[in-house]
Amino acid sequence: MAVQVLTAAKCPTESLSFTNCAIVNEKDFPLDKVRHVEVTTSSNRKYVFTLKGCSGFPSGQIGFSLPMRKWAELSLNQTLEVRPYTFNPNIQYIAKIVLDVDFLDKKTTLEPYDTEKMAKEFVGNFCKQAFTVGQMLAFSFQDMKILKLVVREMEAANIEQMTGNGKATAKRTTQIGLLLPDAVVVFEKAEGSAVNLVGKAKGMTARQSIINPDWDFQKMGIGGLDKEFNAIFRRAFASRVFPPEFVQQLGLKHVRGILLFGPPGTGKTLMARQIGNMLNAREPKIVNGPQILDKYVGESEANIRRLFADAEEEEKRLGPNSGLHIIIFDEIDAICKARGSMAGSSGVHDTVVNQLLAKIDGVESLNNILVIGMTNRKDMIDEALMRPGRLEVQMEIGLPDEKGRLQILNIHTARMKQHDKMANDVDLEELAAKTKNFSGAEIEGLVRAAQSTAMNRLIKASSKVEIDPEATEKIRVCRADFMHALEYDIKPAFGTSAEQIERLISQGIIRWGDPVAEILEDGQLFIQQARAEGSRGLVSVLLEGAPNSGKTALAAKLALSSNFPFVKLCTPEDMVGYSETAKCQLIKKMFDDAYKSHLSCIIVDSVERLLDYGAIGPRYSNLVLQALLVLLKKEPPPGRKLLVLCTSSRKQVLEEMEMLSTFTSILRVPYLNSPEHLVNVLVETSTFRQEEIIKIQGKTENCRFRVGIKTLLAYIDLAKQASDEHRVSKFLTKLEDENCLQGVI
C-alpha cells in the first residue's frame, strides 16, 4: 500500500487513548490489511504504531493520545508520512518487556499495585501491539490511578526455532517489537516515583545498602559494648538489610525506636552517634531534650512535628523505598516524664509526650524513622513510650566488665602506643583488673590524669613556668602515673566508699574471743553465698546487739573483705534534717545504684535511727520502714548480686515492726563477758605492760564482767592519758564506776 500523508490530531475518546494505538479512519487504512504503520515526521524521525479504527473519525487525520504525542514530539495538525510496517518474526517478536512505572499526574497514593495482576492485564490489553524502547504509555489499571509506563528495554525471541524441534536461540534486545501473548512483563519503579509496587512481576531494583559501605565495625571505638551492639543490630537493623518486597511478604514492621539507658558515662551517647555514622541514612537529627521546650504555647509540640516533617514528606512521596530518618534524643527524660507526674505544671510536658507518641506510632505512623532516646533515669519516662511499636528496643548500657575495660583502655591508649609515648611497664590487663566499676568516661579520665601526671614531671615551675626543651622526646606515661591517678585523681561513682568505711574500723578488729571469730567466719559464708552463681542474688544479714558492742565495725570489716566493686554505707549521719520522702529517695537511689554493679554490698547502719525510732511514744517513720521492707526483699536484676549488712541495737523493736523476717540471717554481737576477753583486748591493744595486764587480771578474775568493745576501747584510751603509776587504777575504777564490773576488786 502506498505512502499516505495525514495530519496529526487528538485521540477522539478517553477510552481509545488508553489503547495506546494510533486512531485512523478505515477508508485511509483498512485494518484487515494493515495493522501497523511507520510514521515519519518532518524532521525525518520514524515511529511505529499499531492502528485502531474509529467510526466517525475524520479521513485524512491520524489521532494520538497526549503521552504518544509527547514521546514522538508531535504537534496537532502536523503533516506526517504514514506507510504500512511489517515485523520480522525472527528478531522483532517481544519475549520480555521491562516497563518503568510512575503516576501520570502529580497526585500520589501509597496503595499497593499488584504487579502480577498488572502484567496479566497489560498482556491482555496490548497483545500483538507494537512497542518501541523509550515509548510513553498511559495505563489504566483496575479503575485505580492512571499510571505512566515507559518502555525501558525489550528482549526478542526467534519464533521459528521456538516452534520447531530445535532449542531457542539466546534472547536478544530489540528497539522495536511486537508483544507476544506469552511475553514476560516486568514493572520497575521509575526514579523518584512514589508508586508502591508489590508482587512477583516487580523488578529487583537496585537498593542502596542501609549499612554505610565505608563503615568498619572494628573501628567503632565502642569498648565493652559488643553484646549490647549486637542485640541492637539484631532487633533494629537486621530487618532493614533485606529488600522491601521481602519485608512486605513477612508483614513485618521495622523497629521505630531504641531506648539506651544506664549510668552516666557508660557510652550511651557514643553508641547513638556511632549508630548514626554506621547507617547509610539521612543525616541524624540530634536533639537535647530541653531544647524541645518553648515558653510559647504550642511551640514545644510544633518542635516535635518539625523533627518528623522531612520523614513524613518522603514517606508520602516514596513509600516503602523512603530513606531512613534518624532522630536522636539526648536526655529524653527531660521531655517524656510520665504524664500527670508533675503536680502544678502547665501540662506542656504531657502534650509533648502525646505529640511524640502520635508521631512514632499514631494513626498515621511512619515506617521510615528510627528514634533513639538516651537517659540515665528510665524510671521517669512515660510507660506508653516504651511499649512495642515505639521505643520497643530498650538496652541497658551498663558498667563494663573486665574484658570491656581492657577494650576501652586499648582504645584510649592506642595513640600513645602508636607514637611510643607509653612505657613498657604499663600493663593494661592489670589496670583493667584494678578499675572495677569504672565507667567508660571514668576510664578515659583515668588515662587523661595519667598523661597529665607524666607531663607535669617535665614542667619546671620556678619564678616562671618552663617546659623541658626535650619534653616531647622524653615523655613516657608509665605505670606509676596510672597508679597515682587511681589513688588520687579518679574515683568511680559506682565504686567503694573505702575511706568512709575504713574510718569505721580505724582501730582494727580485735578478736577478743570466739564470738568475734564465729561472726567473721559466718560473714565469709554469706559473702560466698552472695557471690555464688546459683544463688538467688540477694543476701541480707542483720548484726544485732547491745549499743557499743562493735556491730558497725564488724559489718565494715565484712564489706571490705568481700572485695565487691560496689560498697556503700547508708548511715543516719548522712540524713540529718532530711524529710521522710527525701530519706526514702536517697535509700532507694543507693539500692538502684547497687543494681547497676554485678557485685554490690550495702551497709545499713543503725536501722532504728534511720526509722526515727524513739522509745518515748514510741515513734517511728512508717514511710521509711515500708521503703526498707520493700528494698530488703527486692531481688536484684538477673546476673546481679547484692549483699546487705544491717546493724541494730533494737532487735525487739524490729521484731514488732515485722522487719526481722526480711533478713536471710541474724547474727548476735555480744558484750565481752569474761576476764579472759578483757585480757585478750589488753594484749591486742598493747597499751599496758605485761605486769600491768597481770595486775588487772588478778583484780578482775572474781568479778562479773559485761562491757561493749567500743566502750572498753574508750576506757583504754582514757587510761593512756594517766601517769604510769595511776594507769591501772584509773582503768579499773572507770570500769567499776560504769557498772562494767561487779564484785571484789
In this structure, are residues 631 and 586 in contact, taking their beta carbons and an 8 Å threshold? Answer: no
In a domain, 211, yes or no: no
Q: How many CA atoms lie within 13 A of 430 on its CB side?
A: 8
Lowest-confidence segment of 123-132, 253-262, 456-465, 687-696 by average pLDDT: 456-465
Neighbour-count burial of 206, counting CB atoms closer than 10 A to its CB (0-12 exposed, 13-18 middle, 19+ buried): exposed
CATH number of the CATH domain containing 605 = 3.40.50.300
What CA–CA distances, in Å, run from 447 to 26, 33, 185?
A: 92, 91, 64
Are the C-beta atoms of 297 and 346 separated by less than 8 Å?
A: no
**pLDDT of residue 281 exceeding 50:** yes
Task: Give the model's confidence band at 246: pLDDT under 50 very low, under 70 low, under 90 confident, else very high.
Answer: confident
Picking from 323, 400, 305, the residue whose alpha carbon sits closest to that of residue 368 is: 323
Pick the last residue of a domain from 29, 49, 84.
Answer: 84
Q: Does residue 78 sit in the same domain as residue 122? A: no
Select from 22, 36, 20, 26 the least CA-distant residue to 59. 26
Q: What is the mean pLDDT of residues 1-23?
A: 86
Domain end, chosen from 32, 49, 84, is at 84
Helix residue spans in 419-562 (DSSP H): 428-434, 440-456, 471-474, 479-484, 498-502, 514-531, 551-561
Question: Can you state the angle between helices 727-737 and 709-720, rounded to 10 degrees?
Answer: 140
| 5: three-class secondary structure by DSSP | strand
Percent of the chain with pLDDT over 90: 9
Instruction: Look at the chain and report how many structural domains it folds into.
Output: 6
Strand partners, 99: 151, 187
Residue 645 has pLDDT above 90, yes or no: yes
pLDDT value of position 494: 72
E-assigned strands of 229-278? 257-261
Torsion over CA: 15, 20, 26, 27 (sign): positive
Same-domain pairing of 192 and 73: no
- Cell triple for residue 251? 508483614
SS3 126: helix
| E strands present in 30-140 | 36-40, 46-53, 61-64, 79-84, 93-103, 112-114, 130-132, 136-140
% of the chain residues with pLDDT over 70: 87
Position 644 pLDDT exceeds 90 = yes
Judged against a pLDDT cut of 70, whether residue 611 lies above it is answered with yes
> Which CATH number do you get for residue 12?
2.40.40.20
69 and 11 within one domain: yes
Q: Are 550 and 714 in contact (CB under 8 A)?
A: no
Average confidence score pLDDT of the chain: 81
Please, what is the end-to-end C-alpha distance for the chain in angstroms? 148
> What per-residue confidence (pLDDT) applies to 168?
46
The predicted pLDDT at position 29 comes to 85
pLDDT in tens, 96-134: 899 998 888 777 676 788 888 888 888 888 888 999 999
Q: Is residue 258 part of a domain?
A: yes
User: C-alpha angle 46/52/54, rounded to 5°?
Assistant: 125
Say yes or no: 244 and 379 in one domain.
Answer: yes
Q: How confident is the model at residue 745 (pLDDT cuts 50, 70, 90)?
A: very low
- For the segment 136-172, what is each residue's pLDDT rounded down to a tens digit? 998 888 777 788 899 988 888 765 555 554 444 556 7
Q: Can you give the pTM of this predicted structure?
A: 0.63
Residues 13 and 123 in one domain: no
* Inside any domain, residue 301: yes
Identify the burial level of 105 via C-beta atoms within 10 angstroms of its C-beta, where 0-12 means exposed, 13-18 middle and 19 or more buried. exposed
Residue 625: closest CA among 612, 641, 644, 642: 612
CA 401 to centroid of chain Cα atoms: 18
Please report where in the chains the cell 538467688 appears, as a residue. 536
How distant, in Å, are the alpha carbons of 375, 391, 639 from that of 379? Answer: 10, 14, 20
| Distances from the Cα of 737 to the Cα of 243, 550, 672, 709, angstroms | 90, 21, 17, 17
In a domain, 113, yes or no: yes
278's enclosing H/E stretch is helix 268-278
Is 90 exceeded by the pLDDT of residue 472?
Answer: no
Confidence check: pLDDT of 492 > 90:
no
Same domain, 604 and 585: yes
Residues 6 or more apart whose Cβ sits within 8 Å of residue 61: 6, 7, 8, 9, 24, 25
What's the pLDDT tens digit per position in 20-75? 899 988 888 888 888 998 988 878 888 999 998 888 888 889 999 988 888 888 88
Provide CB contacts within 8 A for 428, sequence distance 6+.
Answer: 406, 409, 410, 413
Q: Which domain covers residue 570, as residue numbers?
A: 497-669
Claim to verify: residue 551 and residue 649 sit in the same structural domain: yes
Could you tell me the CATH number of the domain that includes residue 682?
1.10.8.60
Quick one: average pLDDT of 184-188?
88
Q: Which helix (H) or strand (E) holds 226?
A: helix 226-232
How far apart are alpha carbons 401 and 424 in whole angstroms?
Answer: 24
Which of 86-90, 341-345, 459-463, 707-711 has the least mean pLDDT?
341-345
Lowest pLDDT segment from 59-73, 171-185, 245-259, 661-675: 245-259
CATH of the domain at 127: 3.10.330.10
pLDDT at 646: 94
In a domain, 207, yes or no: no
285 with 391, same domain: the answer is yes
Grid cell in block for residue 670: 555480744
Pairing of the two strands 176-189 and 130-132: antiparallel
Distance CA 536, CA 530 (A): 8
Domain boundary among 363, 381, 396: 396
pLDDT at 205 over 80: no
Q: Is residue 203 part of a domain?
A: no
What does the pLDDT average to over 267-273? Answer: 78
502 and 436 part of one domain: no
143 shares a domain with 222: no
The mean per-residue pLDDT over the stretch 309-335 comes to 78
- pLDDT at residue number 603: 92
Identity of the highest mean pLDDT range in 357-371, 457-471, 577-591: 577-591
Higher pLDDT, 695 or 220: 695
Residue 64 sits in the same domain as residue 189? no
Whole-number pLDDT of residue 540: 92
> Residue 744: which pLDDT band, with cuts at 50, 70 and 90?
very low
Cell numbers 568512709 correspond to: 500
Integer CA distances (angstroms), 130 to 133, 209, 237, in order: 10, 38, 46
Shared domain check, 132 and 110: yes
Quick one: which of 586, 236, 500, 267 has its CA closest to 404? Answer: 267
3-state DSSP of 148-186: EEEEEEEEECCHHHHHCCCCCCCCEECCEEEEEEEEEEE
